[in-house]
Amino acid sequence: MTKASGLEHGGPARWGAGCTFTDYNRDGHLDLFVSNYVGFDFEYAPKP
């Protein structure tokens, strides 16, 4: 499924931001939502 969805690693580095399970399409099965930062640059990140 990873390759079919275009998420297979091989491109630029990605930084995980989080994930959650939800029934996005209301079919009775949980769907996994994964979010990433792409091209993250500490120079533009807000200061803590």
Residue 45's pLDDT is what? Answer: 84
- pLDDT mean by block of 10 residues, the chain; 48 residues: 72 77 96 81 83
Classify residue 1 by its DSSP letter.
-
Residue 41's pLDDT is what? Answer: 77
DSSP for 14-48, please give it.
EEEEEEEEE-TT-SSS-EEEEEEEES--GGGSPP-
